[in-house]
Amino acid sequence: MSNNYNSYESISTILQQHDVVVDAAEIQGILCGMLAGGMDLDDREWTNALNDVVNQGDKMHPKVIDQTTQMYDKLCQEFVEADFALKMCLPNDDEPLNERGKALVSWVQGFMLGFGLQQQDLSNCSEEVKEALDDFSQISKMDEEMTDDEESEQAFFEVVEYVRIGTMLCFNEMGKSLLDSRQQAPVIH
């Protein structure tokens, strides 16, 4: 598997080259939302949902499918690791703060979309998950410019970490473990 699966720049470039209208952050956010919302880890139908929401239902180019499959496989691995290993696909820290902020908003918007595709009933969610989803909803609406200073950098870092931990919280509560996914697979006789 490629080591640069989560390189925001390389994946976004491939998406642009093949006329996909979203960036790598939003793609990863959608996939994380679907997984955190309860999609089976072994489910390969996510490509159809992704085609529908980011590519107007058109089949994606094989390079795009390859990159998103690598991303999905790595996400599944990160979600089942015990040490909150999720690595968000965002621009590098040396990029302007506003560019990183816009990518974070895209990521969160993607997460909310993906989560909503999988989970419409929040009545069984804990208060912590409901609060995280409410906060994500607020983050997804952020559109103000940020000043490029140390205080804004720190605030951005804290929001990224909150989103990362909130995503893991949603997955740990609503997502399916590999064991759950395999137990629900149909048995063929």
Please check whether residue 184 lies inside any domain of the structure: no
Please check whether residue 3 lies inside any domain of the structure: no
**How far is the C-alpha of 110 from the C-alpha of 9, rounded, in Å?**
17
Per-residue model confidence as pLDDT tens digits over 99-126 = 999 999 999 999 999 999 998 888 888 9
Please check whether residue 188 lies inside any domain of the structure: no
Please check whether residue 1 lies inside any domain of the structure: no
State the residue range of the domain holding 28. Answer: 8-178
pLDDT of residue 57: 74
Per-residue model confidence as pLDDT tens digits over 37-57 = 999 888 888 888 888 888 777
Specify the DSSP class assigned to residue 142.
Answer: -
Please check whether residue 15 lies inside any domain of the structure: yes
| DSSP per-residue letters across 38-52 | T--TT--THHHHHHH
29's tokens: 């956010």
Please check whether residue 152 lies inside any domain of the structure: yes
Please check whether residue 185 lies inside any domain of the structure: no
**How far is the C-alpha of 115 from the C-alpha of 171, rounded, in Å?**
10
Q: How many domains does the chain have?
A: 1
**How far is the C-alpha of 89 from the C-alpha of 186, rounded, in Å?**
33
Task: Pick out the chain residues at pLDDT < 70.
Answer: 1-6, 177-189
Residue 104 sits in a domain whose CATH number is: 1.20.120.740
Please check whether residue 189 lies inside any domain of the structure: no
**CB atoms near residue 34 (< 10 Å):** 28
